[in-house]
Amino acid sequence: MSNMNNKVKKVLKLACLEAGKIILKNYGKKKNVKSKGNNDWVTNQDIIIEKKIIQIIKKTFPDSSFIGEETGFSNARSNITWVIDPIDGTNNYIHDYPFFCTSIGVLINNKIQYGACLLYTSPSPRDGLLSR
């Protein structure tokens, strides 16, 4: 496995696990919720997690571009783009229904190369499959 593969997978795993810490800290607690549209919600945790994921990625891949569900598109004119959904299933998270996930995809030269998902099916997260 190449050095790039190892770096990407390490960052994906770290970002998902750090997201999980924030999610679990707030699971079962009252959440500050705002509407983005018809049945489309965002919590403070969505925004905090997405910013944390970007911060983690930038430590290893500082020139990356990002497409975030909450923060939008940032183009660093890089060949690496990270696609982030900090809490996929926010409505479930809001209601403490334990079926949601943190999803991160990686495009290299506009082609999907990697993805990670940390699935929450109980109050404890389970590691998702890191694959290429």
Residue for token pair 């990407």: 8
pLDDT at 38 over 80: yes
How many other CB atoms are there within 10 angstroms of residue 32's CB atom?
Answer: 10
The bridge status of strand 65-68 relative to strand 72-74 is: antiparallel
| Distance (Å, whole) CA 21 – CA 118 | 11
pLDDT at 66 over 80: yes
Query: For 70-115, what is each residue's pLDDT tens digit?
Result: 988 888 788 999 999 999 999 999 998 888 999 999 999 999 999 9
Query: For 115-129, what is each residue's pLDDT tens digit?
Result: 999 988 765 555 443
Structure tokens at 61: 């891949």
Predicted model pTM: 0.88
Question: Residue 29 phi/psi, 5° resolution?
Answer: -105, 160
